[in-house]
Amino acid sequence: MTDPYTRGMFKENPYAKKTDILGELVVQLRGQYPQRGLQLITPISRAVNAGEVHELIVTDAEATPGSTVDPIAYIGFFAITKPGVLVVGDELRIDDQVIGTLAGFDETHMPNHLSIVVHGQRRDGEERGLGVGGQVMFVQR
């Protein structure tokens, strides 16, 4: 079985329309690393189910599926309340803050959790003042 993304079968994003993914911040994280070495997987999408808990990480470096991401800041962990499909390019909002644009996924800690990497200003969850219980939303742009 061959990955259609690796084979270059998609010349454009195939996700014409989709629902927003909603969640609740369950952990606020602090910390930054200049050389984290996250390995983003090639696929541009991941399905997420209600009740799953995943990690949010932000980078200000160029990050695309299949690339390595070094400078990062930790945002937090969130629990999925409304499932769906996350797609590179989705906008991440937490409460009234736009955090950034979904850049890709790192599976280092799977099956425990997926690391969801967004491109934006590299500030951690504590610096942003994000509160546990905050509404997390991924919206198709």
For the chain, give the mean pLDDT: 93
Integer CA distances (angstroms), 52 to 48, 77, 78, 96, 107, in order: 7, 10, 8, 23, 14
pTM of this prediction?
A: 0.91
Is residue 86 a contact partner of residue 22, using CB atoms and an 8 Å limit? Answer: no
- In the chain the beta strands, taken as DSSP E runs, fall at 21-28, 32-33, 38-39, 45-48, 53-59, 68-69, 72-82, 84-87, 91-94, 97-106, 115-119, 135-139
**Residue ranges per structural domain of the chain:** 21-139
Residue 11 has pLDDT above 80, yes or no: no
Per-residue pLDDT tens over the stretch 44-99: 999 999 999 999 999 999 999 999 999 999 999 999 999 999 999 999 999 989 99
